[in-house]
Amino acid sequence: MLLIYVFNHKKMTELERYIKSYFGIVQPNDMKTIISLFKPSTIKKGEYFLKSEHFCDKLSFIQSGLLRMFVVTDGKEVTQWISTKGYFVTDLASIIFDLPSRWTIQALTDTELFTIQKDDYKKIGKLIPQWHELEKLFIARCFIILEDRIFMHLSMTAEERYQFFFEQNKDLFNQVPLQYLASMLGMTPETFSRIRRKT
Amino acid sequence: MLLIYVFNHKKMTELERYIKSYFGIVQPNDMKTIISLFKPSTIKKGEYFLKSEHFCDKLSFIQSGLLRMFVVTDGKEVTQWISTKGYFVTDLASIIFDLPSRWTIQALTDTELFTIQKDDYKKIGKLIPQWHELEKLFIARCFIILEDRIFMHLSMTAEERYQFFFEQNKDLFNQVPLQYLASMLGMTPETFSRIRRKT
DNA sequence: CTGATTTCTTGATTTATATCAAGACCCATC
DNA sequence: GATGGGTCTTGATATAAATCAAGAAATCAG
């Protein structure tokens, strides 16, 4: 029991560290409040974190492992993003605006999460007045990343997108099936493979 | 003088209407505060609202006219978006995080704006406690739109992107040079033209 | 109205990328 | 260490889209 406590404590610290780095300085008491709302859980390789069309009623922090976010269209899976340690995962449209989820999110490996339920998530804003502002800045940061990603699709070839992504995410290349990276970069596995050989 | 007053009043009401529709209900007094911080101005066709690398110190509402947001890479202009009446325009990365702007924003037609300066913009959050939350929701909505736009690039052909965009923005097609629409949809003007003929 | 620019279209060609199909590799499991 | 399922690579071919070049149409300025 003590072991588990120590174990959890250490992991919680990590969540805290990420919250600090994403949201900036938060009062120690507020941090305690926020952290206490996140509950640890695990999800096994292949299991679903969220299925499309369902309502997403949670937001999770990835402590370890990998989640893949994708959509099925015309019988094909289109991978939108792969989230690793340190990411927050949810369908924003679903948790904020109560819309059915657009994505399916599935574990690529056994994954440790800290999860906050929607009700508790909505409480944070009431408990911590500063919260909405911090979250606004966080979402703005995400928005800017997507703007850049769109720009990449407007102005770069498949090979340039590969190079750019590879520079920033070398580690992912030996952790996930490459076909998923191909998809999220907007090319086929064959094209991805040929580019990879060249470079 | 009276004429101008009436004129402005009517236009202000429009800004108010848009703020309401984007941000939800705001207390009448708060609305008055917000509106009072926006000052009318105009910008002539071809003039720049913002140049890339400069710092963006304002946020504007488009009362009438068209602004194009683009980047120059390899001597080519890549149009990222075209904003019309009812849009808010700024470089988020620049106004929120004090970064140099990534985009150039230029008027495609004479354009009427209501503009709030950065300092005043930052004040709103202090004057109206609820503001950060409303703005968070607004930015989240923008984020969701970009997610969908990325999905379009991952899963659709040039023709499908054309069709989809055309359905939602028929009006734009006879207001702006089509080459800019081509660019923001990620294709050449020639490809755009051929698709257009077919359909 | 007229000439000058800019924008759009069209055709010919090239290039990038997708598709199809087969085989190789990898690695987990018995 | 064989079997099998998933994954990756490779080659041949088809298709989508870019490029290049020229002319047509639209727009703008005087």
Q: Summarize pLDDT for B72-97 with one digit per residue, the tens.
A: 998 899 999 999 999 999 999 999 99
Residue ranges with strand state E in chain A: 39-43, 48-50, 58-64, 67-73, 76-83, 88-89, 104-107, 111-117
Q: What is the pLDDT of residue B154?
A: 98
Contacts of B25 (CB under 8 A, 6+ apart): none
**pLDDT higher than threshold 90 for residue B63:** yes
Q: CA B145, CA B135: separation in Å to the nearest integer?
A: 15
**pLDDT higher than threshold 60 for residue B165:** yes
Band of pLDDT at residue B12, cut at 50, 70 and 90? low
Q: What is the pLDDT of residue A9?
A: 58
- Check CB contact under 8 Å for A143 and B186: no
Please choose, from the candidates A43, A69, A63, A61, the residue with its C-alpha nearest in 3D space to the C-alpha of residue A115: A61
**SS3 call for A40:** strand
Segment A15-38 shows an average pLDDT of 86
CATH number for the domain harbouring residue A102: 2.60.120.10
Q: CA A138, CA A61: separation in Å to the nearest integer?
A: 14
Strands B39-43 and A88-89: unpaired
Three-state SS string over B115-153 comes to EEEHHHHHHHHHHCCCHHHHHHHHHHHHHHHHHHHHHHH
Lowest pLDDT segment from A64-68, A135-139, B14-18, B23-27: B23-27
Q: What is the pLDDT of residue B25?
A: 74
Please choose, from the candidates B157, B168, B167, the residue with its C-alpha nearest in 3D space to the C-alpha of residue B192: B157
Run of H or E residues at A13 = helix A2-23
Residue pointed to by tokens 């926020």: A34
Strand ranges of the sheet holding A111-117, from the earlier edge strand across to the other edge: A39-43, A111-117, A58-64, A88-89
A191 sits within 7 Å of strand D by its CB: no
Q: CA A87, CA A177: separation in Å to the nearest integer?
A: 19
Q: What is the pLDDT of residue A170?
A: 94
Q: Specify if B189 maps to a domain.
A: no
Segment A41-51 shows an average pLDDT of 94
**pLDDT higher than threshold 50 for residue A3:** no
Q: Give how far A145 is from chain B: nearest CA, Å.
A: 10
Bases along strand C below 7 A from a protein CB: 6-12, 16-21
Q: What is the pLDDT of residue A10?
A: 61
Give me A7's structure tokens.
Answer: 């174990």
| A 48-77 → B contacts, CB under 8 A | 71, 73, 76
Give me the phi and psi of B44, to 5 degrees please: -85, 155
**pLDDT higher than threshold 90 for residue A11:** no
**pLDDT higher than threshold 90 for residue A103:** yes
B189 sits within 7 Å of strand C by its CB: yes
Q: Tens digit of pLDDT for each residue in B32-53?
A: 889 999 999 999 999 999 999 9
Q: What is the pLDDT of residue A5?
A: 45
Helix B131-155 with B158-168: angle, nearest 10 deg: 140
Cβ contacts of B76 on chain A, cutoff 8 Å: 155
Q: What is the pLDDT of residue A96?
A: 96
Half-sphere exposure of B122 (CA within 13 A, CB side): 11
**pLDDT higher than threshold 50 for residue A4:** no
Q: Specify if B34 maps to a domain.
A: yes
Q: CA A129, CA A135: separation in Å to the nearest integer?
A: 11
Q: CA B65, CA B45: separation in Å to the nearest integer?
A: 9
B41 sits within 7 Å of strand D by its CB: no
Q: Supply the Cα-derived Rg of chain B in whole angstroms.
A: 18
User: Which of B80, B92, B97 is nearest residue A154 as measured by Cβ atoms?
Assistant: B80
Question: With pLDDT > 70 as the criterion, what percentage of chain A qualifies?
Answer: 94
Q: Specify if A8 maps to a domain.
A: yes
Q: Supply the Cα-derived Rg of chain A in whole angstroms.
A: 18
A interface test, pick of B144, B161, B187, B191 with most A CB neighbours within 10 Å: B144
Residue pointed to by tokens 């989640």: A67
Half-sphere exposure of B62 (CA within 13 A, CB side): 23
How many structural domains are present in chain A? 1
**SS3 call for B93:** helix
User: Which of B93, B96, B150 is nearest residue A150 as measured by Cβ atoms?
Assistant: B150
B160 touches chain A (CB under 8 A): no
Q: Tens digit of pLDDT for each residue in A51-93?
A: 999 999 999 999 999 999 999 998 899 999 999 999 999 999 9
Question: With pLDDT > 90 as the criterion, what percentage of chain A qualifies?
Answer: 79
Band of pLDDT at residue A178, cut at 50, 70 and 90? very high
**pLDDT higher than threshold 90 for residue B179:** yes
Cβ contacts of B79 on chain A, cutoff 8 Å: 154
Q: What is the pLDDT of residue A120?
A: 96
**pLDDT higher than threshold 60 for residue B6:** no
Q: Specify if A183 maps to a domain.
A: no
**pLDDT higher than threshold 70 for residue B26:** yes
Q: Tens digit of pLDDT for each residue in A118-149?
A: 999 999 999 998 899 999 999 999 999 999 99
Q: Domain residues for B62?
A: 2-155
Give me A31's structure tokens.
Answer: 């941090």
Bases along strand D below 7 A from a protein CB: 6-12, 16-21
Residue pointed to by tokens 């939350």: B133
Q: CA B48, CA B104: separation in Å to the nearest integer?
A: 8
Lowest pLDDT segment from A99-103, A190-194, B35-39: B35-39
**SS3 call for B116:** strand
Q: Specify if B71 maps to a domain.
A: yes
Quick check: A14 and A25 in contact, CB under 8 A?
Answer: no
Band of pLDDT at residue B137, cut at 50, 70 and 90? very high
Q: Residue A116 gets which letter from DSSP?
A: E
Q: What is the pLDDT of residue B19?
A: 87
Band of pLDDT at residue B68, cut at 50, 70 and 90? very high
Q: Give how far B142 is from chain A: nearest CA, Å.
A: 7
